[in-house]
């Protein structure tokens, strides 16, 4: 999330949630592992998840014909890709 201007740097909104002790302890442990406060960790993590959820929302409208064509394209087998097949068949460096 990008900050718009300097006044956006001030945290002046409170968000309250209730949690179980084990949940709080888990969050504290993760925040500590990253050198963050509980609040910073929770806010950053919640914002990342919120952005992901919103980015997954995609709505588009198609006519019945276009929708049928779209579904037919999705149902087709992928075209042969020799480079990809070779990559998938190659031995991993750690094997």
User: Could you tell me which residue, 48 or 59, shows the higher pLDDT?
Assistant: 48
pLDDT of residue 2: 52
Kindly report the three-state secondary structure assignment for every residue of 22-46. HHHHHHHHHHHHCCCCHHHHHHHHH
pLDDT of residue 1: 46
- For residue range 79-93, list pLDDT tens digits in order: 999 999 999 999 888
Instruction: Map residue 63 onto helix, strand or coil.
Output: coil
- For residue range 17-47, list pLDDT tens digits in order: 999 999 999 999 999 999 999 999 999 999 9
Angstrom distance (rounded) from CA 83 to CA 86 = 5
């Amino acid at each position: 999330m990008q900050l718009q201007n300097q006044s956006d740097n001030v945290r002046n909104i409170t968000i309250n949630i209730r949690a179980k002790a084990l949940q709080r302890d888990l969050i504290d442990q993760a925040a500590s592992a990253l050198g963050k406060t509980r609040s910073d960790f929770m806010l950053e993590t919640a914002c990342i998840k919120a952005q992901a959820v919103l980015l997954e929302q995609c709505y588009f409208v198609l006519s019945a014909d276009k929708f049928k064509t779209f579904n037919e394209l999705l149902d087709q087998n992928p075209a042969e890709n020799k480079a990809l097949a070779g990559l998938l068949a190659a031995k991993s460096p750690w094997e």
